[in-house]
Amino acid sequence: MPGGVSSPVRAFKSVGGQPIVFDRVQGAYAWDVDGNQYIDYVGSWGPAICGHSHPEVNKALHEVLEKGTSFGAPSALENILAEMVIDAVPSVEMVRFVNSGTEACMSVLRLMRAFTGREKIVKFEGCYHGHADMFLVKAGSGVATLGLPDSPGVPKSTTANTLTAPYNDLDAVKVLFAENPDQIAGVILEPVVGNAGFIPPDAGFLAGLREITQEHGALLVFDEVMTGFRISYGGAQQKFGITPDLTTMGKVIGGGLPVGAYGGRRDIMAMVAPAGPMYQAGTLSGNPLAMTAGIKTLELLRQPGSYEHLDRVTKKLVEGLLQIAQETGHAACGGSISGMFGFFFTEGPVHNYEDAKKCDLTKFSRFHRGMLERGVYLAPSQFEAGFTSLAHTDADIDRTLEAARDVLSSL
């Protein structure tokens, strides 16, 4: 396997050292093949929001397993999860299930273009929307940069229609719309960034994008693959009270099995085949096991107190970390919303990817290694958000903070 892994960040390249090979996961913990236990703040990159291997999710999976692993035909389970998503997420009136966040984002891009008849899109520097060609562009320096591909194998012609702007910069977006009249299909973004570290939207940013897109007949798309059902049960759009036209989902919605989804306004979703002419399909889409893990996970999440718990333990973790950093003389900034958090080894504030890049990566690598040695598994990159779950207890946070004090005192 290239790099010994099935997905790049897992290889620990940005922090150095060897990746940890997991054997099993349960609740807030992971065990490696040597039997070492870790408090896990990656949570399979988001899906494990109820805690790993939740007994109720596992029980439901066992029951469905007896009925078969794949139907390739409609099932009642899809309808149940679709109704739950439509009830929960303000923008979603119709939904299509796929198998990953990448698939959701590449499909929604086709839909944006099909619906508007326009080809250009706007994305933000540091936002990740899966590994489809058109999204593999990071901004260059200037305010408004034409997209150049990030990876060999992505044709320039593919990314020529991908315009980029710095996150939290409404003026840059206005310039792009002015320079490309009637050509921009829409704007896609992470409503809270998690793929450049944790970067929340400035006050007025999401509302400003809603206004600009409406003014220009373009669509607003929230990529809630990470934030959906995590920032709140209705996602970032519910939390911030801004309703996009379309939304992509993944991670939590599959409860640890491979699921993605895209949905939104009925008139737009009606373009998707077979209701409409925009083709998109999937052999395993709506898989009964995957739907079941999603349904059970959402059922657990909507029990009273879930988000209050996530909010409380996560705040305690991040505020504790920042306090300890200050006491031990390290510049740091960070924050959290519900069960999503991040911190940077830089004074801050961090409003966009450029700001985030000022952080001390060497210090982060040493911190990461020290925490690992003390049984705390953090995302192996300064540019990834962290996640807590319903299974994380105050005692877990206390142990984590103790480890952090130990490590930061020695750096």
List the structure tokens of 337.
């919303």
Residue nearest to ligand PLP (CB): 101
Q: How many CB atoms lie within 10 A of CB 99?
A: 21
Which of the following is catalytic: 120, 251, 296, 316?
Answer: 251
Q: Helix 306-327 vs helix 288-301: angle between axes, to the nearest 10 degrees?
A: 80
Give the range of 95-103, 266-274, 299-307, 321-329 binding ligand PLP by CB under 6 A. Answer: 95-103
Count, in order, helices (H) and strands (E) of the chain.
Answer: 13, 15
In the complex, the smallest distance separating the C-beta of residue 250 from ligand PLP, rounded to whole angstroms, is: 5
Catalytic residue among 29, 41, 128, 353: 128
Applying CB under 6 A, which of residues 27, 47, 101, 386 lies at the interface with ligand PLP?
101
Question: Smaller CB distance to ligand PLP: residue 192 or 325?
Answer: 192
List CB contacts of 89: < 8 A, sequence separation 6 or more. Answer: 224, 228, 234, 235, 237, 238, 247, 249, 263
Specify the residue, 290 or 332, whose C-beta has the smaller distance to ligand PLP: 290
Residue 389 Cβ vs ligand PLP, minimum distance, rounded to whole Å: 17
How many other β-carbons are positioned within 10 Å of the β-carbon of residue 394? 10
Nearest CA to 231 out of 203, 270, 198 is that of 198
The distance of closest approach from Cβ of residue 99 to ligand PLP in the complex, given in angstroms and rounded to an integer, is 8
Decide if residue 100 touches ligand PLP (CB under 6 A): yes
CA distance 105 to 34: 38
* Known catalytic residue at 133: no
x/- mask, ligand PLP, residues 181-210, rule CB under 6 A, reads ---------x---xx---------------
Q: Is 125 helix (H, G, I), strand (E, B) or coil?
A: coil
Only segment of 69-77, 144-152, 218-226, 228-236 that touches ligand PLP (CB under 6 A): 218-226
Q: Catalytic: 251?
A: yes
Q: Which is nearer to ligand PLP, 64 or 236 (CB)?
A: 236
Q: Does position 139 bind ligand PLP by CB under 6 A?
A: no
C-alpha distance from residue 260 to each of 85, 226, 263, 289, 305 (Å): 12, 11, 10, 14, 26
Binding mask 106-135 for ligand PLP (x = CB under 6 A): ----------------------xxx-----
Q: Check residue 102 for interaction with ligand PLP (CB under 6 A).
A: yes
CA torsion sign for 155, 262, 244, 49 is: negative
Residue of 341, 270, 288 lying closest to 61 (CA atoms):
288
CB–CB of 40/396 below 8 Å?
Answer: no
Least CB distance to ligand PLP at residue 225 (A)? 4
> Using CB under 6 A, which of 64, 109, 226, 321 touches ligand PLP?
226
Minimum CB distance to ligand PLP smaller for 147 or for 191: 191
Answer for the pair 166, 205: CB distance below 8 angstroms, yes or no. no
Across 23-40, b (16+ Cβ under 10 Å) vs e yields: eebebbbbbeeeeeebbb
Whether 357 sits among the annotated catalytic residues: the reply is no
**Residues that are catalytic:** 128, 223, 251
- Please give the residue ranges that form the binding site for ligand PLP (CB under 6 A): 100-102, 105, 128-130, 190, 194-195, 223, 225-226, 250, 260
